[in-house]
Every structure is written in structure tokens, then in C-alpha cells.
């Protein structure tokens, strides 16, 4: 029984209700206010879990996560407690709705903030899959860039090889023409080193020189292409490593991945937390005016009455002292000290100073 009483006191504290006033109410009021307190407590626990997940994904340290998560949970608890404790039933649904509207908007904001980390934890596998696809797409784009550059280098090497092959074929053809002309098997058909044989020999020797020059160009081009290809592979490896290191899987990247999923379950979780967060305000907004609300109004009215009565009495005292001070007309400081109204004058000044100080502190 003592344990239940402690739990009840805790829930009443969470609801921001007065135990003294609730003791004068029927059991139905205790049930209502403990339910409101349970809602506030559950929301704070959800805020603690949500902030822990979000902060741990950012910092990766439990010792850093825990203090900030507790601070965030206490902040949400105080905001919710203030919302439910400051709401007053006035018997006018329209005015009550306008009074509750800012609190409902604040509850919606809190619910959205609390829901996102929980959604990211629930859809963790799907988020990791999306991040993996984004990483693979980025690496594939990088790989395609280097594939195109490698193809350009292959085209340069192939072009140099085709020029060398063309020069070699031309040289071989000129040699065949020169050889068969000189042995009389083609051309003029005259065997021996005649004028035509000499001319074809010169043409062959010229093509041989061109082939040697083209071969030097080919070897130089091949060496340059090989060097560029080695440099390209080194740069490709460095860029891949840079992409791997700089690819973010932090809180913002996971949040973007969650938005890219766009499942109805994500909106359902947000709606559920929104209902939990707004339920205390909605319970007071939709519920009828109860005995606790009447007692709160009576307590506030009694305090307001005592305050106005105290102010009225102080005004009367001030007025009487002011009238007494007006009746005295001291001609000097000595006469003032000897005047029968000197005490009234000092009391009036002191009371006026206290009242000014009290009004300034209000």
C-alpha cells in the first residue's frame, strides 16, 4: 500500500497537480490526474530513449550521451508538466480551444522531435541498406569516371599501334615490290639491279626509316600511356579511399535516408507519439470541469481576494498617514522632531518605500 501511495504521489507530481486540493476531491479526480501524470512520465521516458539513440549515433560514447539525454528528458518533462498544469477550464469551449492551441502546437513539435530518433532506430536495417546503396552509387560514379579515362588512354595506345602497323605493312609491301623487281619476278620482269630496282630500293629504305621513326613514336606513346595508367590507378585508389573515409553515416545522413524511405509506418510512429504527447492537453480540453478545477479556482480567488484586501488596507493606511503628514507644517527640523505628527510622517515615508519596493518586485 505504501508503494502504491509513493507511485501515486509521483504521478500526481508529474501531472503538476496539488495533492492538498486532490485530497478534497473524489476518487475519480485522482484517477484522472494520475493518468495525466503517467502520460507525462511516459513521454519523458520516450524522450530519454530517443535522445540517447540520436546522441549515441553522433558521439558514440555513453558517458557523453547519458548526461545530455537526461538533460533533454528533464526539459521535456518540465515542458509537459507546465502545459498540463497551466491549463484552466473556463466553461467556454471556444476560448478553451484557443487557450489549448499553442500548447497543442508545442506538443506536436515535441512529438516530431522525439519521434525521429525512434524511427531511425526502428528502421535501422532499411536505413543501412539505403546508405549502402548511396555509397555504392557514389563509388560506381567514381569508377565510371576512371573507366572513361582508362578507355581514353587505351584509345591513344591503340591509335599509336595502328600507325605503327600501317607503317610496317607499307614497309613490307615496298620490300616485296623491291625484291621481286630485282629478281625479275614482277614489275618490268628484268632480272638485275636496273633503274626500276634502284628506285624501289630507295622507296623501301625510306619506308624503313619511316617505320623506325614510327616505332620510336609508338614506344614513347606506349611509355607515356603506361605512366598515365599507373598514375590513374594510384589516383583511383586514393579517391576510393577518400570516398570511403568521407562518406557520412551520421545522424543527418541517416535522417535523409529515413526521409527517402517514405513508408507509412514512419508517419504512423510520428502520429502515435503525437497522440501520446497531446493526450494530456486533449484530456483536459475534452474533459468536463471537475471538482479539482473548482477547488483551483476557489484557491486562486481566495488568494486574489486576500491580495486585494491587503492592497486596500495598505492604501487606507497610506491615505491616513498622508492626511496626517499634510496637517503638520514644520518650520524647521527641530519643530518637525518636536511635532506630534513626526512619527506619522516617518511611518508614512517608510510604508511608501516598502510599497514601492513590493510593487517593483511584482
Domain count, the chain: 3
What does the pLDDT look like over 261-282, one tens digit per residue? Answer: 766 666 777 777 777 777 777 7
- What span, in angstroms and rounded, lies between the C-alpha atoms of 178 and 336? 148
pTM above 0.75, yes or no: no
Rounded to the nearest integer, the mean pLDDT of the chain is 76
- Tell me if 171 is assigned to some domain: yes
Which pLDDT score, from 0 to 100, does residue 335 have?
A: 45
- What span, in angstroms and rounded, lies between the C-alpha atoms of 354 and 343? 16
What does the pLDDT look like over 290-322, one tens digit per residue? Answer: 788 778 878 878 888 888 888 778 777 777 766
- Tell me if 218 is assigned to some domain: yes
Q: Is the dihedral of CA 332, 338, 340, 341 positive or negative?
A: positive
Which pLDDT score, from 0 to 100, does residue 361 have?
A: 56
Claim to verify: residue 240 and residue 145 sit in the same structural domain: yes
17: containing domain: 2-123+263-289
- What span, in angstroms and rounded, lies between the C-alpha atoms of 81 and 353? 38
Q: How confident is the model at residue 325 (pLDDT cuts 50, 70, 90)?
A: low
Claim to verify: residue 271 and residue 173 sit in the same structural domain: no
What does DSSP assign to residue 192? Answer: S
Which pLDDT score, from 0 to 100, does residue 349 have?
A: 62
Claim to verify: residue 101 and residue 194 sit in the same structural domain: no
Kindly state the helix (H) or strand (E) to which residue 262 belongs, with its residue range: none
Residue 171: which residues within 8 A CB-CB, separation 6 or more? 204, 207, 208, 210, 211
- Tell me if 32 is assigned to some domain: yes
- Tell me if 284 is assigned to some domain: yes
What does the pLDDT look like over 227-264, one tens digit per residue? Answer: 888 888 888 888 877 777 667 666 677 777 777 776 66
Claim to verify: residue 91 and residue 8 sit in the same structural domain: yes
- What span, in angstroms and rounded, lies between the C-alpha atoms of 136 and 32? 54
Claim to verify: residue 272 and residue 240 sit in the same structural domain: no
More confident residue, 165 or 103: 165
Cell numbers found for residue 82:
507546465
Claim to verify: residue 187 and residue 94 sit in the same structural domain: no
Claim to verify: residue 39 and residue 118 sit in the same structural domain: yes
- Mean pLDDT across 163-172: 84
- 70 contacts 62 by C-beta, under 8 angstroms: no
- Mean pLDDT across 125-154: 81
- Tell me if 255 is assigned to some domain: no
Claim to verify: residue 7 and residue 112 sit in the same structural domain: yes
More confident residue, 343 or 184: 184
Of all residues in the chain, what percent carry a pLDDT higher than 70? 80
More confident residue, 343 or 168: 168
CA atoms within 13 A on the CB side of 242: 7
- Tell me if 132 is assigned to some domain: no
Q: How confident is the model at residue 339 (pLDDT cuts 50, 70, 90)?
A: very low
Claim to verify: residue 189 and residue 79 sit in the same structural domain: no
Alpha helices, H only, the chain? 2-15, 19-22, 27-59, 62-86, 93-122, 124-183, 195-246, 251-261, 264-286, 291-327, 333-338, 342-361
Claim to verify: residue 238 and residue 158 sit in the same structural domain: yes
- Buried-state track 255-269, b at ≥16 Cβ within 10 A, e below 16: bebbeeeeeeebeeb
Q: How confident is the model at residue 332 (pLDDT cuts 50, 70, 90)?
A: very low
Of all residues in the chain, what percent carry a pLDDT higher than 90? 1
- Tell me if 257 is assigned to some domain: no
Q: How confident is the model at residue 88 (pLDDT cuts 50, 70, 90)?
A: confident
- Tell me if 130 is assigned to some domain: no
| Environment class of 14 (CB within 10 Å of its CB; exposed 0-12, middle 13-18, buried 19+) | buried
Claim to verify: residue 306 and residue 327 sit in the same structural domain: yes
More confident residue, 271 or 67: 67
Q: How confident is the model at residue 333 (pLDDT cuts 50, 70, 90)?
A: very low
Claim to verify: residue 146 and residue 61 sit in the same structural domain: no
- What span, in angstroms and rounded, lies between the C-alpha atoms of 197 and 289? 125
Amino acid at each position: 500500500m505504501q508503494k502504491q501511495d509513493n507511485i501515486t504521489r509521483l504521478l500526481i507530481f508529474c501531472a503538476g497537480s496539488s495533492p492538498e486540493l486532490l485530497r478534497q476531491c473524489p476518487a475519480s479526480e485522482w484517477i484522472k490526474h494520475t493518468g495525466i501524470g503517467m502520460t507525462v512520465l511516459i513521454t519523458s521516458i520516450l524522450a530519454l530513449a530517443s535522445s540517447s539513440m540520436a546522441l549515441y549515433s553522433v558521439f558514440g560514447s555513453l558517458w557523453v550521451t547519458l548526461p545530455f539525454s537526461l538533460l533533454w528528458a528533464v526539459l521535456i518533462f518540465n515542458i509537459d508538466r507546465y502545459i498540463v498544469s497551466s491549463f484552466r477550464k473556463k466553461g467556454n469551449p471556444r476560448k478553451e480551444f484557443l487557450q489549448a492551441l499553442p500548447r497543442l502546437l508545442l506538443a506536436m513539435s515535441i512529438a516530431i522531435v522525439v519521434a525521429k530518433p525512434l524511427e531511425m532506430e526502428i528502421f535501422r536495417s532499411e536505413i543501412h541498406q539505403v546508405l549502402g546503396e548511396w555509397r555504392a552509387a557514389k563509388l560506381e560514379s567514381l569508377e565510371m569516371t576512371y573507366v572513361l579515362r582508362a578507355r581514353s588512354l587505351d584509345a591513344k595506345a591503340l591509335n599509336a599501334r595502328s600507325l605503327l602497323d600501317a607503317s610496317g605493312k607499307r614497309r613490307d609491301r615496298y620490300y616485296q615490290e623491291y625484291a621481286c623487281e630485282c629478281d625479275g619476278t614482277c614489275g618490268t620482269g628484268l632480272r638485275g639491279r636496273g633503274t626500276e630496282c634502284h628506285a624501289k630500293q630507295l622507296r623501301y629504305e625510306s619506308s624503313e626509316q619511316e617505320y623506325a621513326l614510327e616505332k620510336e613514336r609508338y614506344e614513347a606513346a606506349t611509355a607515356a600511356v603506361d605512366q598515365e595508367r599507373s598514375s590513374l590507378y594510384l589516383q583511383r585508389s586514393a579517391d576510393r579511399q577518400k570516398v570511403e573515409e568521407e562518406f557520412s553515416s551520421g545522424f543527418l545522413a541517416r535522417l535523409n535516408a529515413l526521409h527517402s524511405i517514405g513508408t507509412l509506418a514512419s508517419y504512423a510512429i510520428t502520429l502515435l507519439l503525437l497522440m501520446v504527447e497531446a493526450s494530456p492537453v486533449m484530456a483536459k480540453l475534452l474533459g468536463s470541469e471537475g471538482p479539482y478545477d473548482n477547488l483551483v479556482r476557489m484557491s486562486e480567488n481566495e488568494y486574489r481576494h486576500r491580495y486585494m484586501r491587503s492592497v486596500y488596507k495598505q492604501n487606507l493606511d497610506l491615505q491616513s498617514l498622508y492626511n496626517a503628514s499634510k496637517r503638520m507644517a514644520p518650520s524647521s527640523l527641530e519643530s518637525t522632531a518636536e511635532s506630534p505628527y513626526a512619527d506619522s510622517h516617518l511611518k508614512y515615508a517608510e510604508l511608501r518605500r516598502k510599497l514601492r519596493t513590493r510593487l517593483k518586485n511584482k
